[in-house]
Amino acid sequence: MAKSRAETIREERQQRKSARSRSQEGSKDVAPKKGKIREWVDAMVFAVVVMVILRTLFFDLFRIPTPSMEKNLLVGDYLFVSKLHYGTRTPMTLGVPFTQIYLPGLTFPWTRFPGFSEVKRGDAVVFNWPDDEVDVIERRMHYIKRIMGLPGETIAVEDKRVMVDGETIALQSGMQQYWKIYKSDPRVQLNRSALEELGIEDVLQTADQGVVQLIATEEAAGTIASWPWVERVEPAVVAANSVYDAAMYPPGRGWTPDNYGPVRIPGEGMTFALTDENWSLYERVISRFEGHTTGRSTDGGFLVDGSPVTEYTFTQDYFFAMGDNRDNSEDSRFWGFVPMDHIVGKALLVYFSWDQDMMLPRFGRLFHVID
């Protein structure tokens, strides 16, 4: 039986309605395809988030800006620094990732997660510079030095020799300092090519024509001492003077970088008797790093938070740090102890190195493990 015109129209409308429903259901199941720009943006955001998390919790990157650690670490070395070794320090401020821009006045309570290693003598450690005037610890300038003195130890420098609890700590491989070269004949000139092979670039003539001064590792100095026209080689020790006296920590003791101390390094839970002799050494630690007000009473006694005291118990560990390039390093001899809460991490690896003079990478230093 033939369909009427009206029935045919109704069936066509029903078919179109069903087709629209199926199309809408299909569009719900299949997400619209992202454009190329959106895909790149999403990938970049994801990469930044991952990098922020990794650098906040696991590691940091650091560039060597000065020659204070040569020859072991060179200007232009880029380092991988582990935060896990000594325990990750949680953020103290809110800022723009990978920059020094942050919101001043906004700070957070922080803690340090447990690490799997103690800070040890000889570790190359990155830390926030304790002498920086910035209020927030994590926003202070980053330094890298080698730990030479540990909490509770007494450290001194005697004619350039580092002494810890009375024992000499020898220069490690790659550490360098100034040496005096005494020539058997003042007219003899040291062979420049031979010096360059030893990594020595500059030779300074002293007032004595038979004596020159140069900066070298202990191994290089020993090699020079074996040359037939060299009478002897000895450390170049600077004499005490007013310039050094004012620059040392603490000033006013006649110390120099080559003859320093002795000083006892504070540690967590250690109680030190306060005396006129050590007050200038520990007063700044108690006030700046332990968070107390300090002063002297009218009778010459010691005040902490306004109360008279004869001793003080420290609340965190402190360390004595020095550069490997001993005579070109501003370190604990000049600005004092490194508090534990300033330590960022342990330098492990040189992942890249750039020679600014040659304008080329130092390919031989790539992935160099730091001793």
CB 346 within 8 A of CB 145: no
DSSP structural state of residue 288:
I
Instruction: Read off the pLDDT of each residue in 301-328 and give the average, rounded to a whole number.
Output: 96
- Shared domain for 188 and 125, answered yes or no, is no
Instruction: Read off the pLDDT of each residue in 267-294 and give the average, rounded to a whole number.
Output: 96
- Band of residue 160 on the pLDDT scale cut at 50, 70, 90: very high
Q: Is residue 28 part of a domain?
A: no
CB 248 within 8 A of CB 256: yes
User: Is the pLDDT at 107 greater than 60, yes or no?
Assistant: yes
Q: Is residue 249 part of a domain?
A: no
- Shared domain for 149 and 72, answered yes or no, is yes
CB 266 within 8 A of CB 340: no
Distance CA 84, CA 117 (A): 8
- Band of residue 20 on the pLDDT scale cut at 50, 70, 90: low
Residue 275: what pLDDT?
A: 96
Mean pLDDT score across all residues of the chain:
89
Q: Please give the residue range of the domain that contains residue 322.
A: 51-153+265-270+314-369
- pTM for the complete prediction? 0.86
Distance CA 118, CA 78 (A): 24
In tens, the pLDDT along 116-154 reads 999 999 999 999 999 999 999 999 999 999 999 999 999
Q: Is residue 229 part of a domain?
A: yes
Read off the amino acid at residue 2: A
- Shared domain for 180 and 138, answered yes or no, is no
Residue 11: what pLDDT?
A: 64
| CATH number, domain with residue 145 | 2.10.109.10
Residue 89: what pLDDT?
A: 92
- Shared domain for 146 and 188, answered yes or no, is no
Q: Is residue 204 part of a domain?
A: yes
Q: What percent of the chain has pLDDT over 90?
A: 70
CB 64 within 8 A of CB 144: yes
Instruction: From residue 3, give the alpha-carbon distance in Å to each of 9, 11, 14, 15, 366.
Output: 10, 10, 15, 16, 85
- Band of residue 358 on the pLDDT scale cut at 50, 70, 90: confident
HSE, side-chain direction, 13 A CA sphere, residue 269: 0
Question: How many folded domains does the chain comprise?
Answer: 2
In tens, the pLDDT along 164-179 reads 999 999 999 899 999 9
Closest C-alpha among 205, 223, 222 to residue 213:
205
Q: DSSP 3-state assignment of 254?
A: coil
